[in-house]
Amino acid sequence: MPDRAMTNVPVPTRIAGLVLMGGEARRMGGGDKALLLLHGRPILGHALDRLRPQAFALALSANGDPARLGAFGLPVLPDAAGSPGGPLSGVVAGLTWAAAQGASHLLTVPGDAPFPPRDLGARLWAAGGGGPACAASPDGPEPLHALWPLDRRAELDRLIAEGVSSPRRALAALGAAHAPYPSRDGFRDADTPDDLAALRGA
């Protein structure tokens, strides 16, 4: 189902985009899930195609050797020392990078979900009025598809210091709005071999 653009919703031009690379494809031979091939291209390439028009700058959140991602020509942001690990650490690194770019917001998507909605940034902005927001499918919140205002960074740092370690919990504590989507098509990922086969058959 094609995404419906929300052209009547004003969205700030200072949204930076971050792809959260996530874990390894242990059930599919190892390596980054985002680098698995889908229709002849890495999943990450498809995700970037969807994210690029929605952000003025892009980066990848990934640990390990950044050379493996060199073909994409984007900054690779490792987790900061002492961070809790997991996707929320990637968000924190992304917020630091986005601030240096002069961004007002950070739009995040997971690297193993090839087709994030083309109107994701617009819908999240509309849902939260510029505040924290995440997508919601019929399966519930999709906390890796989220909009993070940089002016809430201090609150996020406090939450992490208090033991919050997941984007879902952090967004809930920040009072994030939900942007509803009628299906999960834009959020399907390659978490298992069956998931990847389903994406290849789409």
| Residue 186 among known ligand-binding residues | no
| Residue 20 among known ligand-binding residues | yes
Residue 158 has φ and ψ, to the nearest 5°, of -65, -40
| Residue 1 among known ligand-binding residues | no
Burial annotation 147-173 (CB, 10 A radius, 16+ → b, else e) = bbbbebbeebeebbeeebeebbebbbe
Q: Are the CB atoms for 123 and 178 separated by under 8 Å?
A: no
Q: Across the chain, which distance is largest between two alpha carbons, in Å?
A: 45
- Percent helix, strand and coil across the chain, each to the nearest 5: 40, 20, 40
| Residue 22 among known ligand-binding residues | yes
Neighbours of 85 (CB within 10 A): 10
Q: Are strands 41-42 and 76-77 parallel, antiparallel or unpaired?
A: unpaired
Residues placed in the known binding site for Mg(2+):
112
Residues placed in the known binding site for GTP:
20-22, 33, 79, 112
Residues placed in the known binding site:
20-22, 33, 79, 112
